Amino acid sequence: MKNKEKPTVVWFQAITCNGNTHSLLSANSNRLELFFDSFNLIYHPSLTIDKSLDDILNSNSKIDFLLVEGSISNNKKFFQISNNSTYNHLTKLIKKATYVISVGSCASFGGIHAMFKEHVGVKSVKEYFDKTLLKHQIINLGGCPVHPEWLLQTMFLLKDYGRIALDNEGRPKELYSSLVHHGCTRNEYFEWKVEGEFGTKEGCLFYDQGCRGPMTHGSCNKILWNDVSSKTRAGMPCVGCTEPTFPRDDMLNTKKNIGIPFEVPLGIPKRAYLSITGVAKTFKIDRLNKKLMD
């Protein structure tokens, strides 16, 4: 990790549960190795590394990639690291950085910590630092936690090409332009309105279990977790963790009016959705109502 050619990376942890760190460490081992071979991670509070946060703060060296995990607060009484608020630390760090990447939902959108009204001043990185002059605007990698591969792809893309296209929420389009619904193995059940249950292989989790796949941007079902699975593949509804609206109340329940979903898939007018699904629901397709395996 001492190679000067490699871009330097600082991982700053603010108000967080550590989930994104765990996620990174669970990355495909070849890819993680490639990451450590290609970047110089000079600071991470959970890893054994020579430097302390103070060393980084007091040094004049530039940081190529500043990765932020967790939401930010300017209130020292509420949360502090080394006798200072996360906001003050980040103000210093951001000035040194070329790229700032918010890793996970808390850093990107405030996440669960910003949800409570008592948590005044707990915000996302972008809410505090949007006006900061950076070479690149702050990149939001929504996800609770973020998929390790999304972080790695973003880093490699910036390292090699210096830029990345972002959507309106500051998320890389490459990773967040399609919906979690894409690539879900339950699509056929969705089409024919066959309801599913938690943990089973059959049925769609949109109708009762609150699946947000059709309204959530992310590639969970295209870039699989641990290379093999995803929430919906395993029978757990998508909870929409990549969106600024996460977390919502009552996430495992589909809000309905008279049996009609309150929200319909993104970009489809409700009347059109109802007219198609109303027809589809009246079909009984034996194959889809049977167990895949007895």
Partner 1 sequence: MENALKLFSQKGFYNTTIPDIAKAMKMSVGNMYNYFSSKEELAKYAIKYSTNILALELREINNMEISSKEKVSIFVNKYLENVQKSPEVIEYFLRVYLSNREVFKQGCEGFLCVGEFVTEVMILLDTGAQNKEFREQEFFPAFAMIMGCLGGFAFLSGEKVLDKDLLEYSDAVADNIYRALKYEE
Using CB under 6 A, list all residues that contact ligand SF4: 180-181, 184, 186-187, 190, 204-206, 211, 213-214, 232, 238
For partner 1, give the closer residue by CB, 36 or 283.
283
What is the per-residue binding string for partner 1 in 264-283, x denoting contact by CB under 8 A?
------xx--xx--xx-xxx
The residue range among 23-31, 84-92, 256-264, 285-293 that interacts with partner 1, by the rule CB under 8 A, is 256-264
Packed helices 148-161 and 29-38: angle between N→C axes, nearest 10 degrees: 30
The residue range among 108-116, 202-210, 220-228, 254-262 that interacts with partner 1, by the rule CB under 8 A, is 254-262
**Interaction partner, residue 204 (ligand SF4, partner 1, none; CB < 5-8 Å by kind):** ligand SF4
**Interaction partner, residue 259 (partner 1, ligand SF4, none; CB < 5-8 Å by kind):** partner 1
Q: Binding to partner 1 by residue 287, rule CB under 8 A? A: no
Q: Which of 173, 256, 268, 290 binds partner 1 (CB under 8 A)?
A: 256
Q: Binding to partner 1 by residue 286, rule CB under 8 A? A: no
Q: How far apart are CA 109 and CA 130, in angstroms?
A: 12
**Interaction partner, residue 266 (ligand SF4, partner 1, none; CB < 5-8 Å by kind):** none
Q: Which of 1, 25, 234, 260 binds partner 1 (CB under 8 A)?
A: 260
Task: Give the shortest CB-183-to-ligand SF4 separation in angstroms.
Answer: 9
- Backbone dihedral angles phi then psi of residue 34, each to the nearest 5 degrees: -60, -40
Using CB under 8 A as the binding rule, the residues of this chain from 162 to 191 that contact partner 1 are: none
Residues that bind partner 1 (CB under 8 A): 256-260, 262, 270-271, 274-275, 278-279, 281-283
